[in-house]
C-alpha cells in the first residue's frame, strides 16, 4: 500500500470513528437527561469534530486526486493545533477528574489517540500551501470566541465545562484569567510548531568555487604578456 492509499484509509478510519464516538456519547448523555447544549460546549468535543471533518475531506481529496485549497490547508492546520492543545490540557489539568458517563474507549480516542494521529498526519503529509504567522492568526478566533462564550453562558446558567474556567472552583476570575493566558501560550507555541513543520527547509546554496589567487594572478600575467606582445608586433610591422 502506497502513502496515498494509506493516508486515505487512516483519515477515513479515524474521521468516521471519531464522529461515531461523538454520536454514541451524545446518545448516552441524552438518555441520562443531560443538556445537549452542554455536551457541545466542551472544547474537546468541538475540536474532535473539526478534526474528524478535516480528516474525511482530506481523504476525499486524496481519493479524487484533488489538491487542497489554501483555505482547506489553513483549517487543517488549525485543527491540528486545537487537538494538540486538547491532549496537553487534558494530560495536565483534567486527567484525574471524574469523567462521569464518558466511556473509557471514547475518552482514550478523544484525549490521547486523536492528538497523536492529528500531529502525525500533519508531519507525514504537510500542506502544499505556504503558511505564515499572519495567516494563521485566524486560528485564535475559535478558542477566543469559545472562551467568551463559556464565561458568559456559564455566568447565566451556572454551568462550566471545565473546572479551571469556573470562577467558583478555579479561585476567582483572576485564576481563570491566569489559566486562560497559560493555555493561550500553549496555543501560540503549537501554532509556531505547526507552521515550522509546514515550512520546507530552504536548500543550502553551494558556494561558487573561487579561483585560487595564484592561478588568477598567473592568468592575468599571461593576458598582459599577450597584449604586450601583440602591441610590439604591430609597432614593428608599421615600421
**What digits encode the pLDDT tens for the residues 84-127?**
999 999 999 998 887 778 899 999 999 999 999 999 999 999 99
Residue 222 in any domain: the answer is no
Q: Look at residue 206 and tell me if it is in a domain.
A: no
> Per the domain annotation, does 15 fall within a domain?
yes
pLDDT of residue 239: 45
Q: How many domains does the chain have?
A: 1
Within a domain: residue 234?
no
CA atoms within 13 A of residue 209's CA, in its CB half-sphere? 3
Q: Does residue 65 sit within a domain?
A: yes
Q: For residue 107, give the C-alpha cell.
A: 475518552
Q: Residue 109: which of 24, 8, 7, 6 has the closest Cα? A: 24
Residue 219's pLDDT is: 64
Residue 158 and residue 150 in contact, taking contact as beta carbons nearer than 8 Å: no
In a domain? residue 50: yes
Q: Is residue 224 part of a domain?
A: no
- Low-confidence residues in the chain, pLDDT < 50: 205-206, 208-212, 239
Domain span holding position 168: 3-198
Specify if 213 maps to a domain. Answer: no
Q: Compute the distance between CA of residue 85 and CA of residue 3 in angstroms, rounded to an integer.
A: 27
Predicted TM-score (pTM) of this structure: 0.82
Amino acid at each position: 500500500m502506497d502513502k496515498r492509499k494509506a493516508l486515505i484509509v487512516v483519515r477515513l478510519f479515524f474521521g468516521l470513528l471519531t464522529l461515531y464516538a461523538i454520536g454514541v456519547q451524545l446518545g448516552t448523555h441524552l438518555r441520562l437527561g443531560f443538556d445537549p447544549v452542554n455536551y457541545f460546549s466542551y472544547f474537546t468535543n468541538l475540536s474532535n469534530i473539526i478534526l474528524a471533518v478535516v480528516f474525511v475531506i482530506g481523504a476525499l481529496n486524496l481519493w479524487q486526486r484533488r489538491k487542497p485549497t489554501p483555505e482547506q490547508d489553513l483549517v487543517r492546520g488549525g485543527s491540528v493545533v486545537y487537538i494538540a492543545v486538547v491532549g496537553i490540557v487534558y494530560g495536565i489539568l483534567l486527567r484525574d477528574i471524574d469523567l462521569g458517563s464518558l466511556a473509557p474507549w471514547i475518552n482514550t480516542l478523544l484525549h490521547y489517540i486523536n492528538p497523536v494521529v492529528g500531529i502525525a498526519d500533519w508531519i507525514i503529509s504537510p500542506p502544499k500551501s505556504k503558511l505564515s504567522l499572519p495567516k494563521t492568526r485566524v486560528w485564535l478566533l475559535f478558542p477566543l470566541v469559545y472562551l467568551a462564550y463559556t464565561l458568559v453562558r456559564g455566568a447565566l446558567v451556572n454551568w462550566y465545562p471545565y473546572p479551571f474556567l469556573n470562577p467558583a472552583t478555579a479561585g476567582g476570575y483572576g485564576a481563570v484569567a491566569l489559566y486562560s493566558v497559560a493555555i493561550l501560550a500553549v496555543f501560540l507555541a503549537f501554532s509556531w510548531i505547526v507552521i515550522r513543520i509546514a515550512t520546507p527547509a530552504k536548500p543550502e546554496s553551494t558556494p561558487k568555487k573561487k579561483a585560487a589567487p595564484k592561478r588568477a594572478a598567473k592568468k592575468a600575467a599571461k593576458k598582459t604578456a599577450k597584449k604586450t606582445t601583440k602591441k610590439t608586433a604591430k609597432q614593428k610591422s608599421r615600421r
